[in-house]
Each structure stands twice: as C-alpha cells, then as structure tokens.
Amino acid sequence: MARLLEILAIELLPVLGGLVGLLLALLIWRRWRRRQPTGVRPRRARRKSILNEPGRAFLDALDRAIGREYRVFVRVPAAEVVQVLGEGNAERRKAEEDRLVRQRFDFLLCDPDTLAPLCAIQMDARDRDGGQSVFIGELCREIGLPLLRVPERPAYAVSRLRNLIRERVAAAEVPGVDASREPWIGEATEPVEDTETGTAGAAPADGPSCPRCGSGMTARAVTTGAHAGRRVWRCARYPECPAVVTDARARE
C-alpha cells in the first residue's frame, strides 16, 4: 500500500505543479486585464492654447518687462531644472525624481546665453493647487532659486513686475544669503496687478519707477549735507514706501 501511494505521488506531482502554475498565470492575467482600459479609446485633439487667459495676459506683460534681458520658458517640469544627487538609496532617489516629473514651474526666466535658471514664477490660483504651491516653495528654497508668485489677473503692472524680477535675481547673487529665510523667496509683499499706463502714481516720462513697489517717483532737491544741491527721486507712495533713488546726473 505504501509503495502504491509513493508511486501515485511521483506520478501526480508534475500534474499538481502544472495546475499550480496555471492558476498563478490565470491570476496574473486577470490582474493585468483589470488595469487595461476598456471600451473605445477617446479621441484626442490639439489644445487651443497651452495657457489660460490670465496666463497669456501675464506672459504678454512678462515679455514687455524683461525684453531681451532673460529668456522665458513656460510650464517647465521641475525635473528639467532640479538634479537629484546621489545620496540615499536608489528607491528614494527614484521616488524623488518621479515627484519632480509631476511638478512644474509656470514660468522660468533663464540667462539668454547659458540658459541657467535665474528666477521661477508661479501663478497663484486657488482652484488648481493640490499641494504644488508648497512643494515648489520648498524646492526653490533648497536649490536657491528666486521665486515670485503672482495672482491671476486680467492685467499687470509691467514696470513693477520688471523691478520685482530684478530685485529677486539680484538678491540671489548676494554672498551669504540664506535662501530659506530671505523674503525674496516666497510670495510678493503686494499683488502685481493693474495696468502699466493710466494708474495712479505712474512714473513721469523722465523719472524712474520705484525699485520697491513699481510706483512713480517724484523729484526732490537735497538742501543740506554732503549731497546738497543734488536731485533725488522719492517714491510717490511715501511714507508707505520709503524708497529713494539718487540722481547724480541732475542738480537743482
């Protein structure tokens, strides 16, 4: 009897192995099928624009603000700007690389010759954030990339936008600046909005724009001290904005 059972076991073992293999293959196939899309593939069409209306309005203002000073790129994946270094295990690096692929910079200003990233710009929209705003802010602090946030508006102040960009790019070049603490990384202190022409406090034709807020500046004559007789420009929004620009070209 024992001999018979032994013979049966030897004969049935390959059959049982085959059945187990077939069952595993069936389970794998069913799982694969569940992941496949069903029904007719939806049609695809070209978008009318890669930017919404506020994005196009801002790009128009941005082009006028920067001229040929920078090159602007739109909707740039973070993975094209940020390099994941070799520290840590391969699994963590892969997860970080995948996260960077899913995030993007709305606008990226680069050096016109080297295309080195100089300033990131994010459009603030409450209906399409999903945590991206926080991640982009942390990312810019870590890599030392100036970040300017602007609200979605129908029009923007070109001169003020120009000054904000120059201010942030210049701040990034100051030795010893702690990118995690300096206010030039983060939100602008005031919204960048309104049109360049026809606004209150617009700069006179021969005067500069305020380097702090973009408003107009009024000429003042220095009457005392070492700079007596020299003309300076004071922000039209003084005392709310205390900015003063010296003008060595003119004396009154």
Domain spans in the chain, listed from the N-terminal domain onward: 53-187, 200-252
Q: pLDDT for 145-165, tens place per residue? A: 998 888 888 888 888 888 888
Residues in CB range of 210: below 8 A, 6 or more apart:
163, 203, 216, 217, 235, 236, 237, 241, 243, 245
Q: What's this model's pTM, rounded to 2 decimal places?
A: 0.58
Residue 110 has pLDDT above 90, yes or no: yes
Check residue 208 and give its pLDDT.
74
Q: Which of 113, 131, 170, 114 is nearest to 122 (CA)?
A: 131
CA distance 132 to 137: 8
pLDDT of 251 reads 35
pLDDT-derived band of residue 249, with 50, 70 and 90 as boundaries? very low
Amino acid identity of residue 21, one-letter, is G
Write out pLDDT tens, residues 181-225: 333 333 333 444 443 333 333 444 456 777 777 777 777 776 654
Query: What's the confidence (pLDDT) of residue 90?
Result: 85
